[in-house]
Amino acid sequence: MQPDFTDIARTHLPAAYNLARWLVRDASLAEDIVQDAMLRALKYFPSFRGENARAWLLQIVRNVAYATQQQSRAARFVDLRPEDVEQDLGNSEDDPEALLAKAQEEGYLDQLLNGLPIELRECMVLRELEELSYREIADITAVPMGTVMSRLWRARQLLMQAARRDR
């Protein structure tokens, strides 16, 4: 049986939508992006011969989302600033449990994640919500694996730092 594109689309739609929604932080914009990405994917599908349909689709979703973001920047979110990370790295002697208490608050972690710069947010979503490997994330985001690792590191330091600040 030749894999039917509609089956693939249906299977990976939740992942596609979740990624788009996190990248653009807007529900209706996310729908537009997924719609556009799926139609593109359908067009490219005859030349797709990989084994990892999910990674392939997410890559297309991601590219469409980035193109859209460049046209309109959502200004409603207070961004965490990556340049703040460096000076704080030595300060890791806190109680490891401290973050957990704050994270239990409804919506708190969503808000923090939404504050990350897009390339860090994207790595976190692909890693923790889609549970993809470093290799897959590197393929989807078109950067070397080392970059994925350092982005995840920066993202996590920022999140921990913000949680400490808000405690």
| 83 scored as a contact of another protein (CB under 8 A) | no
Produce one character per residue of 140-149: b if its CB has 16 or more CB atoms within 10 Å, e if not.
Answer: bbeeeeebbe
Q: Which of 63, 66, 88, 109 binds another protein (CB under 8 A)?
A: 109
d(CA 125, CA 33) in angstroms, rounded, equals 17
CB 16 within 8 A of CB 56: no
Stretch that binds another protein, among 60-68, 71-79, 85-93 (CB under 8 A): 85-93
Measure the CA–CA gap between 137 and 130, rounded to whole angstroms. Answer: 10
Q: Which stretch binds another protein (CB under 8 A): 66-74, 75-83, 124-132?
A: 124-132
Q: Is 87 in the site for another protein (CB under 8 A)?
A: no
Q: How many residues bind another protein (CB under 8 A)?
A: 65
Question: CA geometry: angle at 27 spanning 71 and 79, to 5°?
Answer: 60
Judge whether 120 and 82 are in contact, CB under 8 Å.
yes
Please give the residue ranges that form the binding site for another protein (CB under 8 A).
1-3, 5-18, 21-22, 27, 30-31, 34-35, 38-39, 42, 46, 49-54, 89-90, 92-94, 96-97, 99-100, 103-104, 108-110, 113, 124, 127-134, 149-150, 152-153, 156, 159-160
